[in-house]
């Protein structure tokens, strides 16, 4: 079992968090941005699936727990200052965004306005269907 | 002249900032992560060059001001919550990182350790040479 020195090296915020960027390992597309705490980063590395920390809900957020849109991790990277994490992932279902789009970054600035430039692949009502 | 509604739509942090990811517009490589305030995002859009806000120095940080490694903006995107900016850029000089590497995300987690897996393209002493 490996130690946790690599976790100690991360420069956590005062709240014990680190920003995390999820990038499609094949296409390079930036899919989403979220936060992690120490436990969620440790779990992500151990399980090979992205687990974030939901600041709004104040708890661990295993990506895809409701939607099934799990992120399989191919690589975990950190930047020069060790204060930002980059995950290279395979996006199960091809949808990272809760709006049913492939990527969360679907608004492009055009002539002084944000234009949605990516298609909705699945109705959110279907993704988050109540049992 | 366009209005500033698009800036009003950004969900700034309490400190008036928004996280910004810079991605190579051609290769898709994630090059760096920084913060912007309203003024820096407005300037970035107006000038077509990335201007960040340096939290450590407490001032605007036109990327490349010392190194010459300016980032020419091709697209400005924002995510579904409008609280994270993604810049698709052309990296002048091919080096985004102050360590002389192409990308800041050069540490990869391997067997429980962070390994530097990207080459230094230019000596930082040469990049930030004093006049």
pLDDT of residue B57: 95
Cβ–Cβ of A21/B9 closer than 8 Å? no
A chain contacts of residue B36, beta-carbon cutoff 8 Å: none
The residue among A35, A95, A102, A112 with the most chain B CBs within 10 A of its CB, best to mutate, is A112
Of A27, A77, A98, the CB nearest to B80: A98
Domain that holds residue B91: 5-98
What does residue B17 show for φ and ψ, rounded to 5 degrees? -120, 165
pLDDT of residue B23: 98
Mean of the per-residue pLDDT values of chain A:
95
Say yes or no to pLDDT of A131 above 60: no
Quickly state the pLDDT bin for A84 (edges 50, 70, 90): very high
Q: Is residue B29 part of a domain?
A: yes
The string of DSSP letters for chain B reads ---SHHHHTS---TTSEEEEEEEETTT--EEEEEEEEHHHHHHHHHHTB-EEEETTTTEEEETTTTT---EEEEEEEE-TTS--EEEEEEEGGG--STTSBS-S--EEEETTEEEE-S-B-S-HHHHT---
Q: What is the CATH number of the domain that holds B24?
A: 3.10.20.810
Of A3, A6, A80, the CB nearest to B97: A80
Cβ–Cβ of A80/B86 closer than 8 Å? no
Mean of the per-residue pLDDT values of chain B:
95
Q: Is residue B116 part of a domain?
A: no
Q: Which residues contact A36 (CB under 8 A, 6 or more apart)?
A: A17, A18, A20, A44, A51, A52, A53, A85
What ipTM was assigned to the predicted interfaces of this complex?
0.95
Q: Is residue B125 part of a domain?
A: no
Binding residues of A for Mg(2+): 79, 81, 83
Tell me: is residue B26 an annotated ligand-binding position: no
Q: Is residue B107 part of a domain?
A: no
Gap from A89 CA to chain B (nearest CA, Å)? 13
Q: Is residue A10 part of a domain?
A: yes
Q: Is residue A115 part of a domain?
A: no
A chain contacts of residue B41, beta-carbon cutoff 8 Å: none
Q: Read off the pLDDT of residues B42-59 as tens digits, 9 standing for 90 and up.
A: 999 999 999 999 999 999
How many structural domains is chain A composed of?
1
Q: Is residue B37 part of a domain?
A: yes
Length of chain B: 131
pLDDT of residue B25: 98
C-beta separation of B107 from A78 below 8 A: yes
Quickly state the pLDDT bin for B4 (edges 50, 70, 90): confident
Q: What is the pTM of this model?
A: 0.96
What average pLDDT does range A2-8 have in this prediction? 86
What average pLDDT does range A87-99 have in this prediction? 97
Cβ–Cβ of A81/B104 closer than 8 Å? yes
Q: Is residue B55 part of a domain?
A: yes
A chain contacts of residue B28, beta-carbon cutoff 8 Å: 23, 27-29
Quickly state the pLDDT bin for B131 (edges 50, 70, 90): low
Gap from A113 CA to chain B (nearest CA, Å)? 6
What average pLDDT does range B16-23 have in this prediction? 98
Quickly state the pLDDT bin for B1 (edges 50, 70, 90): very low
Judged on CB neighbours under 10 Å (0-12, 13-18, 19+), B119 is exposed
């Amino acid at each position: 079992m490996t130690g946790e020195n690599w976790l100690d090296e991360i420069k956590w915020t005062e709240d014990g968090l680190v920003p995390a960027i999820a990038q499609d390992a094949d296409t390079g597309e930036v899919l989403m941005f979220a936060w992690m705490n120490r436990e969620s980063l440790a779990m992500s590395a151990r399980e090979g699936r992205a687990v974030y920390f939901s600041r709004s809900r104040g708890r661990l957020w295993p990506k895809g727990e409701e939607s099934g849109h799990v992120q399989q991790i191919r690589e975990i990277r950190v930047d020069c200052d060790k204060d930002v994490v980059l995950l290279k992932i395979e996006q199960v279902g091809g949808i990272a965004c809760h709006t049913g789009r492939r990527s969360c970054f679907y608004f492009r600035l055009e002539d002084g306005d944000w234009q949605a430039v990516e298609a909705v692949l699945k109705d959110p009502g279907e993704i988050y269907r109540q049992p």
